[in-house]
Amino acid sequence: MAAVCDDTSDCAICLSEFTRPCRTVCSHTFCRECIVRALQTTGGYGNCPVCRQFVGLVSVVDEAVGEALVPSHPRSALHGSVWVQQTVGSASYHFPDEAAYISYESKECDQWPALDNGTRPPRRKYFVNAKLDEETRTFVGTIDWSPTSWQGAVRWEYMMRFSPDLSTIWSGQVRVFREDGVLSRTDEFGHALKYINAELLEVLTPRVQRAVVPVPFQDVRARRPGESFLRFLIRYAENSL
């Protein structure tokens, strides 16, 4: 999905005029408090409220100072990168200078279902027909489970597209095929599959995860005249932390 620039002076989250506007990597602008609150609840990364691209706080820029909300060192290359949902080794994607692979090296993978022939998945499952294009930030490749299958799937065909700042896999899909060649399902990156650059784990985890503050009913009366309810919730939460 192509980035679309904003042409409005109102935040799409609180529906009020921007307060300290911040722009996402997909070129949408929100109030600083609004986008921080929206992404904090999912660990510092999630879907853009406008276009649903998968973004993170590390790629949200405060327009007043021209800096990212969560500083991190630049990520400049796909080769050598690792991409995770939660932890390295739990179906994480690895793109070394040699062959790309999916890692099942984490101990939690020992609790996952066995292959359909009863054996355990390999610690590293290598892609075949793999191609990583740095210029277009795109990867294509296939995971071939034959002569066995995994939960009925014999082949997974991947297409991943990485965000411009290499912080997330923000689009693409995995097409899952049965042994008879029939497509059984398609999983979308940025929606069912949410992967971030593993370099961000050390940046995001300790700095942006905070609980959402509940608002007692009696405190709702502190809402200011003309203030949207979402704007009130954000102000209340910020004052309570």
Domain residue extents for the chain: 21-71+211-240, 81-198
Above 80 in pLDDT, residue 158? yes
Give per-residue pLDDT as tens, 76-123.
Answer: 678 888 999 878 999 999 999 889 999 999 998 998 999 999 999 999
Above 80 in pLDDT, residue 204? no
| Bridge partners of residue 51, in order along the sequence | none
- Lowest average pLDDT, out of 89-93, 125-129, 179-183, 199-203, goes to 199-203
pLDDT, residue 94, reads 95
What gap in Å lies between CA 227 and CA 201, rounded to an integer? 36
pLDDT confidence band for 47 (50 / 70 / 90): confident
pLDDT, residue 239, reads 57
The pTM assigned to this predicted structure is 0.66
Topology classification of domain 21-71+211-240: Herpes Virus-1 (3.30.40)
Average pLDDT over residues 161-186: 92
Above 90 in pLDDT, residue 152? yes
Task: Give the best-scoring range by mean pLDDT among 12-21, 36-45, 66-75.
Answer: 12-21
Amino acid at 165: D
pLDDT, residue 241, reads 38
Above 50 in pLDDT, residue 209? no
pLDDT, residue 206, reads 45
